[in-house]
Chains A and B, each alone.
Chain A
């Protein structure tokens, strides 16, 4: 009989270990591609990325895992991830060993990450302004037009 840690660990091995970089674990099932979008990873560069989608997890039932080789996420990037992956844990890996491990924290605001869904918001026009959202307990709110988004935050990720 395996304990919870071992069970999760076993499934995590489905995606290969990395030498140096970041493992984003306990991402809610189905959100891995949105995590990549937030990190600006679209395969067009040379990043080496491994992704596990909907792997069994004791904590989340189904979870996604993203492993990014050769890149340690900044705190700002980690904070933004919290919007769509509030349960995620971030493991910084150095020479195959976990150098640090921590949970994501929700920031007070995020800038330049999401596109406002309000078509009449000034940030959707050809103005030299970066989108900015205040983070609420249960969603985000555009700092300019004040539109609140609760359920479909991932749809707002600016992938341009």
Chain B
């Protein structure tokens, strides 16, 4: 069994992260240097949940490296609809592809799937669990805008179900980062994640109001509060409204504050922020391609990942 899968950011070391980010920076600066490098390589895309950015950026990354993709398509049009297990699906696709990307609504799905295949498997989101490749592009964006050490970052919104938040928090524990988690009480970080962060000795504080920390932040990472999590529409409206930002909200922030969002946004960030120097969320999405190119390059060459 090979072990060059990427299932969680939890076990990534600082060296692992920096190696991918450095490679991404090289590729970003000179994409032609790797054009065609992995000609003939096939990447299998298994998305059991809708995805635009993650799926398309993986597809773009593979094609820019000279390879191609095979795509399961929507769940409705696949054999999953007939009741096929994930374990069977990945074992079949392993015969078609040199590496596999899986997004699935169940926590632990990527880890389980990786136990059934002998090609690199990348977790592109497992329920409320992890989303390590999003984390790598988040870190790349943070490094470009604010640096990764002596960093004060606010992570706001749905911290309970937000897999990008969990993965980012784990990875940041490798760096000299002060993490401020801002959310309503009902959407706080899972206790498991807090337990792990404390075990790692990470600097972690939890808040209910952004005002408590805004002026100290270098980065504000905003996530969507999902309407479907609330049985009561009024409760959703009341809470969601408190975790939206606009120009007025940012009046108390540093001029250098970088605002990020893993996208898609709904109304968490007012469009008026898009044209300010704060906005880094489109740049963040664009970074998905060079970062995933760097990651695929390393995994396909047998580079160490977790």
Query: Does B44 sit at the interface, judged by CB under 8 A?
Result: no
Nearest-neighbour CB distance to chain A for B54, whole angstroms, equals 19
State whether A146 touches B108 (Cβ < 8 A): yes
22 contacts between A and B (CB under 8 A): A120-B105, A120-B107, A120-B127, A121-B107, A122-B106, A122-B107, A122-B108, A125-B106, A127-B87, A129-B87, A129-B112, A142-B108, A143-B108, A143-B111, A144-B107, A144-B111, A144-B112, A146-B107, A146-B192, A147-B107, A147-B192, A148-B195
Query: Does B186 sit at the interface, judged by CB under 8 A?
Result: no
Nearest-neighbour CB distance to chain B for A113, whole angstroms, equals 17
Say whether chain A's binding surface is mostly helix, strand, loop, or mixed: loop
B positions within 8 Å CB-CB of A: 83, 85-87, 104-109, 111-112, 115, 126-129, 191-192, 195
State whether A120 touches B112 (Cβ < 8 A): no
The count of chain A contact residues (Cβ–Cβ below 8 Å) is 18
Q: Provide the bound-state CA to CA distance between A128 and B90, in Å.
A: 13
Q: Provide the bound-state CA to CA distance between A148 and B104, in Å.
A: 21
**Nearest B residue to A129, CB-CB:** B112
Query: Does A123 sit at the interface, judged by CB under 8 A?
Result: yes
Q: Provide the bound-state CA to CA distance between A122 and B102, in Å.
A: 13
Nearest-neighbour CB distance to chain B for A131, whole angstroms, equals 10
**Nearest A residue to B10, CB-CB:** A146
**Nearest B residue to A147, CB-CB:** B192
A 95-130 binary contact with B (CB < 8 Å = 1; else 0): 000000000000000000000001011110111110
A 66-83 binary contact with B (CB < 8 Å = 1; else 0): 000000000000000000
State whether B191 touches A148 (Cβ < 8 A): yes
